[in-house]
Chains A and B, each alone.
Chain A
């Protein structure tokens, strides 16, 4: 049921008046959000998301999990202003998604790395900075900093095709963080990677998150992944796409791979799983 999640601060528009630096500040507010797709044929409309309410705190690592067709990606895309909402409101620090996008609040990491294969790794990371017309010395400095962050210093002059899938995805993360966005939106970024690469990237992502203090919205269909990474896991169910529960992940930070063998972890995974409806 959508209302099992009771937001601590239902009056959303006040959130942006809270001054910077306060802890537990709400950053993204989603209120009664619905998204329907018009089918091309005559079949009418599909409810991708129905009446979603959610608040995402500043600096929080939040995961959206659910089976395909549950609307988790749709929600991410609405936040990123890649698709319009049909009803309801989304505010990012008081801005609409469009305003937030124009203010460059988002860094997006897609399932595919989406690198420009004619550009070297350095120039790929540099791309958003070029688009923002940052002066060249600053760009060079920033790119070096980003490659250090994701551990790809030595590969700056390689081309994407020379890198493994995991490394390419690191480049994607470096590029997303290059413009110093407030929010990192990740759409199943590791789902195409093998388990070993994935585990390594999990650890790296958590380290990067800790170092940069970004808010991370992480879409995945992998429950273990969501539990391991997140502060909170939002469970989606399909037909129509909706939020059916929100699970607080009480595991201590920093997380280590060993935690996956603990009873707490298993119980949290079970709790997330029990949130699915009609799957």
Chain B
């Protein structure tokens, strides 16, 4: 009956992309734990260097207060809201500004010639150098978080969106020309929707960056936020597990921000999932 190639189960598992993820996770856990055991053998306070993963996990569920009123996980969540809230606002502002600038560069060759070559400079200034300046100017850590996240978001979005505008096939313009479409119609019905995948490419690059940047800005001042707690716990002002929790939490949020954008893209532009197949043409 079943003469068709029925692959053995293990082959199916090996072929699944999930398997790769699982292998990576297991590998990383093994390396981490090997390191933790090694550190444990030589250091007196191994948790400061490399604690076991179960210790970190236990600290998440621990009810022990590490400050006067808060447990470790409460500290992480409260400060995460402060930091990531600002990162989110900055991200949205930066994305909007980047998109509008790309639109302006597309609309006017003069703007493009003036702005585009120097746009890269923004990206080249290290965020560590820029953050104190922004803080000195705004004198407000919240505003600084927003601004830094916006600056980091702005560049990938602007550059990718502009690339998107430029990649639109000539025939699309000719088609609209043949219908005597007005310029606003060309933008609304064609150029803006056509640029959406490129906008999302920019957003995917910048979302984790915005998270990282706003954590970094926190470290500049003692006013709270993930980065602030990170440096405090590293200086033993509170439990070191706050540090480890933040490390994992921010890594998780960074990844989550990326997949959040992926999800948003699927919702916003449903027709593009199989574009590679489309590019194949006649079949």
Q: Does the CB pair B194–A128 fall under 8 Å?
A: no
Q: Does the CB pair A112–B169 fall under 8 Å?
A: yes
Q: Does the CB pair B282–A164 fall under 8 Å?
A: yes
Q: Does the CB pair B281–A82 fall under 8 Å?
A: no
Chain B nearest CB from A121 CB (Å) reads: 10
Q: Is A101 an interface residue (CB 8 A)?
A: yes
Chain B nearest CB from A51 CB (Å) reads: 26
Contacts of B185 in A (CB 8 A): 131
Given known contacts A80-B178, A82-B177, A194-B282, is B271 in contact with A118 (CB within 8 Å)? yes
- The stretch of A154-162, A214-222, A259-267 that contacts the partner chain: A154-162
Chain B nearest CB from A160 CB (Å) reads: 7
Contacts of B282 in A (CB 8 A): 164-166, 192-194, 197
- Best-surrounded residue of A114, A131, A166 (most CB of chain B within 10 A): A131
Q: What class of interface size applies to chain B in its complex with A? A: 20 to 34
A101-136 at interface with B (beta carbon < 8 Å): 101-102, 104, 106-108, 110, 112, 114, 116-120, 127-128, 130-132
Chain B nearest CB from A96 CB (Å) reads: 14
Q: Does the CB pair A165–B283 fall under 8 Å?
A: yes
Interface string of A145-181 (1 = CB under 8 A from B): 0000000000000011110111000000000000100
Contacts of A159 in B (CB 8 A): 270-272
Contacts of B283 in A (CB 8 A): 164-165, 194
Secondary structure at chain B's binding surface: helix, strand, loop or mixed?
Answer: helix
Q: Does the CB pair A131–B178 fall under 8 Å?
A: no
Chain B nearest CB from A126 CB (Å) reads: 11
Interface string of B166-207 (1 = CB under 8 A from A): 000101101111111100010001100110100000000000
Q: Does the CB pair B172–A82 fall under 8 Å?
A: no
**Which among A82, A106, A131, A162 is the interface contact of B189 at CB below 8 angstroms?**
A131
With A and B bound together, what is the CA distance between A128 and B225 in angstroms? 52
Q: Does the CB pair B273–A165 fall under 8 Å?
A: no
Which chain A residues have a beta carbon within 8 Å of chain B's beta carbons?
80-82, 101-102, 104, 106-108, 110, 112, 114, 116-120, 127-128, 130-132, 159-162, 164-166, 179, 192-194, 197
Q: Which 9 A-B pairs have the closest CB atoms?
A: A165-B282, A159-B271, A161-B278, A114-B171, A161-B274, A193-B282, A110-B171, A131-B179, A118-B193
Can you list 18 pairs linking A and B with CB atoms under 8 Å apart?
Answer: A81-B177, A81-B178, A82-B178, A101-B178, A110-B175, A114-B169, A114-B172, A116-B190, A116-B193, A118-B271, A118-B272, A127-B189, A131-B176, A159-B271, A160-B271, A161-B278, A165-B282, A192-B281
Which chain B residues have a beta carbon within 8 Å of chain A's beta carbons?
169, 171-172, 174-181, 185, 189-190, 193-194, 196, 269-275, 277-278, 281-283
